[in-house]
Amino acid sequence: MQRFDSAPSLIMYYVYVLHSKKNGDLYIGSCEDLRVRFRQHNSGKVKSTKAYMPWILVYYEAYRNKKDATKREKLLKMHAVKDELRSRIMNSVGQ
């Protein structure tokens, strides 16, 4: 068995949910570097979220495959699934 600390660097892909402190909306996205992407959202560098800053990260999932992350992102953006997710994380979004 290979030790974790000697394994090659793994690239992870993230699906994340942000909560707008301005209007309470949820934003769902995916990326390769969650820390960098979160900073971009909160510094006004993302056109679709700029008007609703500040954002807090309330949920994320990690995947080893970009296709899996993209598929999950699309699923979470479906209205019924997004509503179910909102109810699951309601304490995190303050509702």
Confidence (pLDDT) at 91:
80
The CATH homologous superfamily of the domain defined by 11-86: GIY-YIG endonuclease (3.40.1440.10)
Q: b or e along 31-55 (b: 16 or more beta carbons within 10 Å of the residue's beta carbon)? A: beebeebbeebbeeebeebeebeeb
Residues 52-69: tens digit of each pLDDT: 999 999 999 999 999 999
Confidence (pLDDT) at 34:
98
Reported confidence tier of residue 93, pLDDT bands at 50, 70, 90: confident
Every domain of the chain and the residues it spans: 11-86
Reported confidence tier of residue 30, pLDDT bands at 50, 70, 90: very high
Give the mean pLDDT of the chain. 90
Q: What is the mean pLDDT of residues 73-85?
A: 92
Reported confidence tier of residue 6, pLDDT bands at 50, 70, 90: low
Query: To which H or E segment does residue 59 belong?
Result: strand 55-63
Distance CA 82, CA 76 (A): 5
